[in-house]
C-alpha cells in the first residue's frame, strides 16, 4: 500500500468540484485517509512548490494557490502515487485525455484544478507539510470500514 498527497486547488473548489473529484478517487478504489479544507499561507505554498522556485511562473503559481480555499487530502492504494497521477491527467489540461480530471474539468495550465505528488518522496514531504504526523500510516484514526459494523 502507498499513500499520496492530493490537493484540489482554489479553481477546483470555486467550481464546486470537490464532490466529483472525491467520487472519482473513491470509484477508482482509493481510500481517503485525511482531508482538510483550508486557506494556505504564502510560505506553505512556496514550500509546497519549492522545486519550481526558479521558474518564471513561480510567483503566479503561489499567488494562485493562496487565492482561495484548497482541499488537501491523503489517499491510499496500491501504487497510489502513479495511479493518482493517471486519474489527474497531463499537467496542461489542453493535452490531458478526456476521462482524466484535468481533461474533463480544465483548459489552462495555470488553472488545472488539482495537484498530485510526483513521487513517493514528494508524497512524504507534502503529507508532512500539510498533515504532519496525522498522515503517517499506523496512527489510529476513524476508518470508514468500521461503518460496516454499525447497525
For residue 110, state whether it binds ligand GDP (rule: CB under 6 A).
yes
| Binding residues with ligand GDP: total (CB under 6 A) | 10
Establish if 57 lies at the interface with ligand GDP (CB under 6 A): yes
Q: What is the DSSP letter of 96?
A: S
* 50 near ligand GDP (CB under 6 A): no
Looking at the Cβ atoms of 23 and 91, the one nearer to Mg ion is 91
- Three-state secondary structure readout of 119-140: CHHHHHHHHHHHHHHHHCCCCC
Q: Which residue has the cell 512556496?
A: 46
DSSP letter string, 9-49: -HHHHHTT-HHHHHHHHHHHT-EEEEEEEE---HHHHHHHT
DSSP at 146: G
Out of 50, 63, 91, 119, point to the residue binding ligand GDP (CB under 6 A).
91
How many of the other CB atoms lie within 10 Å of CB of 23? Answer: 10
Q: Distance between alpha carbon 137 and the CA centroid of its chain, in Å?
A: 18
> Whose Cβ is closer to ligand GDP: residue 18's or residue 136's?
18
Of 48, 52, 90, 115, the active-site residue reads 115
**87 binds ligand GDP, rule: CB under 6 A:** no
For residue 85, say whether it is annotated as part of any ligand binding site: yes
Nearest distance, CB of residue 100 and ligand GDP, angstroms: 11
Query: Known catalytic residue: 48?
Result: no
**Contacts to Mg ion by CB under 5 A:** 118
Where along the sequence are the contacts to ligand GDP (CB under 6 A)?
Answer: 52, 57, 60-61, 91, 109-110, 112, 115, 118
Amino acid at each position: 500500500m502507498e499513500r499520496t498527497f492530493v490537493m484540489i486547488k482554489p479553481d477546483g473548489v470555486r467550481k464546486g468540484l470537490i464532490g466529483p473529484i472525491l467520487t472519482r478517487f473513491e470509484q477508482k478504489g482509493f481510500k481517503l485517509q485525511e482531508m482538510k479544507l483550508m486557506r494556505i499561507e504564502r510560505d506553505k505554498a512556496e514550500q509546497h512548490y519549492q522545486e519550481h522556485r526558479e521558474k518564471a511562473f513561480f510567483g503566479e503559481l503561489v499567488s494562485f494557490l493562496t487565492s482561495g480555499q484548497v482541499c488537501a487530502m491523503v489517499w491510499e492504494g496500491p501504487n497510489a502515487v502513479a495511479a493518482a497521477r493517471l486519474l489527474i491527467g497531463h499537467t496542461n489540461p489542453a493535452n490531458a485525455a478526456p476521462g482524466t480530471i484535468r481533461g474533463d474539468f480544465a483548459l489552462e495550465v495555470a488553472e488545472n484544478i488539482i495537484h498530485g505528488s510526483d513521487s513517493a518522496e514528494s508524497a512524504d514531504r507534502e503529507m508532512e507539510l500539510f498533515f504532519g504526523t496525522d498522515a503517517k500510516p499506523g496512527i489510529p484514526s476513524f476508518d470508514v470500514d468500521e461503518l460496516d459494523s454499525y447497525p
